[in-house]
A and B are shown apart, each in its own frame.
Chain A
Amino acid sequence: MSNKMIWFCLLLFSLAWFPITGCGGNRNRVEREGRPADELVLAVGGEPEAGFDPTTGWGQYGSPLFQSRLFRRDNNLTLVNDLATAYEISADGLTWTIRLRADVKFSDGMPLTAEDVAYTFATAAASGAVIDLNNMERVETKDAQTVEFRLKQPQSTFMNLLARIGIVPKHAHGSGYALRPLGSGPYKFVQWDKGQQLIVEANPLYHGQQPYFKRITFLFMSDDAALAAARAGQVDLLAVPAAFARLEIAGMRLLYLDSVDNRGIMFPFVPAGGQTKEGHPVGNDVTADLAIRRAINVAIDRQTIVEGVLDGFGSPAFSSSDGLPWWNPETVIRDADLEQARRILADAGWKDTNGDGILEKGALQARFTLLYPAADLTRKALALVVADQLQPLGVKIDVVGKSWDAIQTMMHSNAVLFGWGSHDPLEMYNLYSSKTRGTGWFNTGFYINTVVDGHMARALSATSEEEANRYWQKAQWDGQTGFSARGDAPWAWLVNLDHLYFVREGLSLGQQQIQPHGHGWPVTANITEWRRKE
């Protein structure tokens, strides 16, 4: 009996030690073992559960590899033509006419026509998965090179949808497509071993500039295994968590990219008592108090969090879109100011009457639950640190880790540590509009402000991106109100994560965009510009 237990303990131990001994010996191995210069091995994660079908959600971030899109964002996030040559929007903003290049072929040699574009968007809208095409009434072909989209409401962000969905071939799209994708992108599919690797080869028929790398292998493995592979010289580009940032890998350098991959705390905006359609409770009396939300925003020491939790690889976040064209720089507030936070709370009538270190207002205690996804180390750390930072203020946060399934039933009545960050201002609309209250993961706090709604409606119906951006900025803070921390503060944004990579010496990744949510795959957005300098 006792022997068995000792063996179990020893087993636990040997498990604990395995990763250390597993990667200790390879320090001095030479880099890039015998691969040709135009072959690349990446370990950046991002394996799609459902395969590589754009009509069900593939390729929203980063490069869709196998397909190409009507428009794409260049390295400065400006929209440029890809398959499209020109577009026209009718005066009422409801009809979008797109003209296509005539010379584009799929990798099987068939020409890409307006038929394929119409088919792709119709299929994506019908599948309803991930991509928000609800506003599209219909899509029609005018001739072989012209497509016409008809919208229900004017939507300036529709362009972003056109820049997100890869075009699939009508003639070769069926049930098995997601497993054997075919398109007009820079690379064509060779092999996918689910859970292990994806191999692609350059597409000789690609209409853009031929990529430098002729063959790319994407490895899908755990952080530890990927690190060991990189140390053995088998990987050219490796995405790593912040905990690995201080490591040294022979022949590789650390690259950190700015991102809008943010983390923040969503507060329930309405008092308790409501219910969602599914019967989950809505609202929280404590976080419904503007003073509490503002005080938390002011009291949090974001810079310390960046240095402490992220090891300095990040930046303080004050909105969901820091640094993007539609961001309002006035949303930046002075934080780490406990005095100011105390004043805000005292002015609103919060006092510690019974001396237990927690503020009260009448019968209400300044205490609420903060949920985080149990499997996410960074979010766990953020939640714990924020709770500790707010303790001296007299606001008590009970930190609870749950699975996403459990969080889904509790997220309308408790604060949640969410992460967002997109190259599409539509995300902002979804987070703060009264129309999306309780819709999926959007606006789970049931935030509502009619002035903000008005600004965002004008932003959507704007006919130019500049005009739209002006209204997006007003929605954040227009001098009177807004959804930023200066206004209603329905969120306390905490940090933008830097995305960390180890890059093999000599590999150039070009100029990288500000990275969106999701660490790993987005780095591939400009994969055709990557080079190896020997």
Chain B
Amino acid sequence: MPVSSAKTLLLSCRSFNRRQRTLMVVALTTVCLLALLCGGLLLGEEGLSTNLTNRNMPPSLSYPLGTDWLGRNMLARTVQGLSLSFAVGLAAASTSAFIALVLGLTAALGGKRLDAAITWLVDLFLAVPHLVLLILIAFIFGGGITGVITGVTLTHWPALTRLLRAEVLQLRSAEFVLVSRHLGRSRWWVATRHLLPHLKPQLLVGLILLFPHAILHEAAITFLGFGLSPHRPAIGVILSESMQYLSAGSWWLAFFPGLALLIMVRTFDVLGDNLRLLLDPHSAQE
């Protein structure tokens, strides 16, 4: 369990300073997440095939998370589901961050009309309920994995865009930028040499913190049935499937995958918070 082990480690190494501890947490969470991803890739189709002699087995030593009504190993399915969520999250979060960067820079540097247009777009996207928008977009793009990634990508950029725009606006009026402009540097030069380095920590932390959002939304729309093919081991699919069997008493089908999702999301959260501590000039040297 990445979070709790990280915490016990934290308690036992009070002797380290804040920066060292933060670094350790970052390293630990990264390793956990990478292990999960690799686990999903290495497992492949293994353990997903049906095995009718071992149906509906509660958690045991040979099947730590039990088996489902077709005898499929729930541990394998959960790891597969999480790594699929991870991949979807990665694709969606990085594309979202890229869109946010481009729009944020354009809004702040591109003149009044462009700024008004982009601000209006941000307001529009923030005003529509997120899940509804997500479902609409996923539906328009024909569902499936493309639909899910496009949907998640196209709905997660507005908050970060707004943040980056404000940051650029503030930077633009900073004295060193003004001086640089008066010294005759081009807009492009100022944007790449002065603005981008300042935006890097915002962008990186923003990206990491988009992850849990993207993953939860992916799980939510696959749970509602707008996403992936229903036998694919995605966390949302696993959870919605298990609903049918809860009344029959198979509690482990929903409990462990749900817990695993919670832990993974929380791990990303911890990673993002600690990265912010490291990268933010105010707290970086504590």
Residues of A within 8 A of B (CB): 1-2, 5-6, 8-9, 12-13, 16-17, 19-20, 23, 223-224, 227, 241, 243-244, 246-247, 304-305, 307-309, 374-375, 377, 380-381, 383-385, 388, 391, 399-402
Contacts and interface: CB of A to CB of B under 8 A. Distances in A.
Interface stretch (B76-84, B89-97, B260-268): B260-268
B266 A401 contact: no
Interface string B101-125: 0000000000000000000000000
B223 A381 contact: no
Given A20-B251, A374-B229, A375-B225, 12 more contacts: A2-B273, A5-B213, A16-B242, A17-B246, A305-B52, A308-B53, A308-B55, A377-B244, A380-B231, A384-B50, A384-B70, A385-B50
A305 B70 CA distance: 10
9 contacts: A9-B258, A12-B220, A12-B223, A243-B69, A243-B247, A247-B249, A308-B52, A377-B241, A399-B231
A16 B255 contact: yes
Contacts of B50: 308, 381, 384-385, 388
A16 B231 contact: no
Contacts of B249: 20, 247
A304 B52 contact: yes
A12 B242 CA distance: 13
A247 B248 CA distance: 7
A5 B243 contact: no
B63 interface: no
B118 to A, nearest CB: 22
A400 B229 contact: yes
Contact of A223 (B71, B223, B247): B247
A20 B255 CA distance: 12
Contact of A381 (B70, B219, B254, B258): B70
Contacts of A9: 216, 258, 261-262, 265
Interface string B270-281: 000100000000
B248 A309 contact: no
A227 B243 CA distance: 14
B146 interface: no
Contacts of B254: 16-17
Contacts of B245: 243
The A interface, classified by DSSP as helix, strand, loop or mixed, is helix
A214 B247 CA distance: 33
B248 A16 contact: no
A244 B251 contact: no
Interface string B207-225: 0010011001001100101
A97 B238 CA distance: 58
Contacts of B135: none
Contacts of B49: 388, 391
Contacts of A247: 247-249
Contacts of A12: 219-220, 223, 239, 258, 261
A384 B251 CA distance: 23
B230 interface: yes
A383 B50 CA distance: 11
A246 B69 CA distance: 13
Contact of A243 (B223, B229, B248, B273): B248
Nearest to A3: B269
A377 B253 CA distance: 15
B230 A16 contact: no
Interface residues of B, number: 39
Given A20-B251, A388-B49, A401-B230, A5 B269 contact: yes
Contacts of A391: 49
A307 B53 CA distance: 9
A308 B273 CA distance: 48
Contacts of A377: 241, 244
B139 to A, nearest CB: 11
A60 B8 CA distance: 66
Nearest to B68: A381
Contact of B52 (A227, A385, A401): A385
Contacts of B265: 5, 9
A244 B70 CA distance: 15
Contacts of A13: 258, 262
B212 to A, nearest CB: 5
A307 B52 contact: yes
B266 A6 contact: yes
B231 A246 contact: no
Contacts of A20: 246-247, 249, 251
Contacts of B261: 9, 12
Interface in B40-63: 49-50, 52-53, 55
Contacts of A307: 52
A446 to B, nearest CB: 26
Nearest to A305: B52
Given A243-B69, A385-B50, A401-B230, A16 B243 contact: yes
A138 B160 CA distance: 71
A380 B247 contact: no
B279 to A, nearest CB: 17
A42 to B, nearest CB: 19
A287 to B, nearest CB: 21
Given A5-B213, A5-B269, A380 B246 contact: no
Nearest to A307: B52
A384 B212 contact: no
B239 A224 contact: no
A377 B242 CA distance: 11
A19 B69 CA distance: 18
Contacts of B225: 374-375
A12 B220 CA distance: 9
Given A381-B70, A384-B50, A385-B70, A246 B229 contact: no
Interface string B183-194: 000000000000
A212 B265 CA distance: 59
Contacts of A19: 243, 246-247
Contacts of A401: 229-231
Give the interface centre of B248, B261, B262, B269 by most chain A CB atoms within 10 Å: B248
Contact of A5 (B212, B244, B248, B258): B212
Contacts of A8: 216, 220
Given A5-B213, A16-B254, A308-B70, A224 B247 contact: yes
A8 B130 CA distance: 13
Contacts of B231: 380, 383-384, 399, 401
A401 B52 CA distance: 21
Given A1-B209, A309-B70, A227 B247 contact: yes
A16 B55 contact: no
Contacts of A5: 212-213, 216, 265, 269
A383 B269 CA distance: 39
Residue from A13, A223, A400 having most chain B Cβ neighbours under 10 A: A13
B255 A243 contact: no
Given A224-B247, A244-B247, A381-B69, A16 B52 contact: no
B230 A374 contact: yes
9 A-B pairs with the lowest CB-CB distances in the bound complex, closest first: A308-B52, A16-B254, A401-B230, A9-B262, A2-B269, A374-B230, A19-B246, A401-B229, A388-B50
A27 B176 CA distance: 75
